[in-house]
Amino acid sequence: MDGPDGEVGFSQDGSRDEHKRQGNIGKSSRHCLFKKAYFEMRHAQMADTKKEHYVPRCYLENFASDSKRIEVFDKWKLMVRHNQDIKNVAMENGFYDLDLLDMLNRIDAEKSETTRRDIMSYMGTNCWDDVVSLLGDKRFVEKEHFANLEGVYSKLLKVIIQKSYNGNRWVLRNCSAMSKNEKVLFPFFVAIQFLRTPKFRNTLADMVEGMAQTLAYKSQMSKENALPKEAFAVDANRDYIKLQHSAIILDPEVALHIAETMVDHIWIMCVNKTNIPFFTSDDPLIRIPHKQDEFRSYSGFASDKIEIAFPISSSLLLCMYDKKTYGHLFNDRQFYVMQDIEEVNYYNMYQVINSYRCVFATEDHFATAKKVL
């Protein structure tokens, strides 16, 4: 994706497109850049894809062998699956499939008409046939949304990985890990990764069920024969949860809000110089709260003393730190060399703990992973 001065762009070979202007980018400008890139990618020619990955292959390739094989630790079964093709991991058949037309037909006429108007407005059309042509495909979330985004994501990953020059000492001491414009665009893809996983969908289901349970319980609390809260446990409708999950994924404002929060942090690119590779997982974005409170969580993206870590490859790990707490300790976008295996194991163990089910690595170094579960 080529861009004018002040925008993120790539040359034909995927190498860095340096821009003449690298000034500070304000929040409003960042927001416009995010949205411009998002809609350009959304309106690109749709790719036809069959397997629905919640961690994209273009990302997993950076943790795989040259033959695109990867080691998988299944923490539910406490077993390692060796030499797996990345096409067959971090995916689920029909994970994003939605039969929206069937759902619309099952709700009453008045609500259906309102929903139709809302959908047409969102898609920028006054013709319902235009909506049907797209929504008639159950796999439109995967084909219309992710397939187009991942082409740009793949190029951006290659650009960022290339900038470390395989850990060249002079580069690590004297160069920035990425340009300011690349720092603006990259967290958008990190935010999408956070939102698209089975773990996020299950968290959403837990929230819906918890809210319904609480409302039902409170509605009868004043009665003499009130039942305990446990009596109102509910199971959320799976179609409803999938629909809500898709709505969050397809709304660019959700990812933009998370991305803009991450942009404001101090970024450090950790370069792994040990013989233990960085792990990744089916939920690779981890948040490490360094502030503890008995009554309040400090694990939010904008929390005091928060650290956010995202592995980029077997040898690169992006760490984002709360600027108010750590801004005086680090220079933004600098490299940091990890030569201590304990440091690498520290972040790898967080991948194991944070993962939904599976952890991925270039080589089988999962012996310690089994000990933390």
How much is the pLDDT for 238?
A: 83
Task: Let me know whether 175 and 118 are in one domain.
Answer: no
How much is the pLDDT for 37?
A: 59
Task: Let me know whether 175 and 80 are in one domain.
Answer: yes
Split into its structural domains, the chain has a count of 2
Q: Classify residue 227: in a domain, yes or no.
A: no
Task: Let me know whether 50 and 194 are in one domain.
Answer: yes
8 A C-beta contact, residue 303 and residue 282: no
Task: Let me know whether 367 and 330 are in one domain.
Answer: yes
Question: Rounded distance, CA 21 to CA 23, Å?
Answer: 6
CB count, 10 Å around CB of 77? 10
Q: Classify residue 217: in a domain, yes or no.
A: no
Task: Let me know whether 84 and 114 are in one domain.
Answer: no
Per-residue tokens: 309: 């870590």
Question: Rounded distance, CA 178 to CA 22, Å?
Answer: 12
Running along the chain, 373 residues long, what does each successive block of 10 average in pLDDT? Answer: 37 37 56 60 48 92 95 96 96 83 65 71 76 68 72 93 91 95 94 96 92 84 83 82 86 91 97 97 97 85 95 98 92 96 97 97 92 80
8 A C-beta contact, residue 262 and residue 118: no
- CA-based diameter of the chain, in Å? 75
Task: Let me know whether 290 and 320 are in one domain.
Answer: yes
Q: Which of 360, 285, 283 is nearest to 85 (CA)?
A: 360
Q: Which domain holds residue 106?
A: 99-137
Question: Rounded distance, CA 167 to CA 150, Å?
Answer: 26
Task: Let me know whether 350 and 263 are in one domain.
Answer: yes
In order, the DSSP letters of 167-225 are G-HHHHHHS-SS-HHHHHHHHHHHHHHHHSSHHHHHHHHHHHHHHHHHHHHHTTTTSTT
Q: Classify residue 35: in a domain, yes or no.
A: yes
Task: Let me know whether 250 and 289 are in one domain.
Answer: yes
Task: Let me know whether 107 and 251 are in one domain.
Answer: no
Per-residue tokens: 91: 């995916």
Q: Classify residue 193: in a domain, yes or no.
A: yes
Q: Give, for 34, the enclosing helix (H) or strand (E).
A: helix 27-42
Q: Classify residue 354: in a domain, yes or no.
A: yes
Q: What Rg, from alpha-carbon coordinates, does the chain have?
A: 22
| 3-state SS class at 257 | helix
Q: Classify residue 331: in a domain, yes or no.
A: yes
The residue assigned the tokens 């951006």 is: 156
Task: Let me know whether 188 and 114 are in one domain.
Answer: no
Task: Let me know whether 40 and 183 are in one domain.
Answer: yes
Task: Let me know whether 253 and 340 are in one domain.
Answer: yes
Q: Classify residue 16: in a domain, yes or no.
A: no
Question: Rounded distance, CA 174 to CA 33, Å?
Answer: 28
| 3-state SS class at 14 | coil
CB count, 10 Å around CB of 203? 13
Q: Classify residue 306: in a domain, yes or no.
A: yes
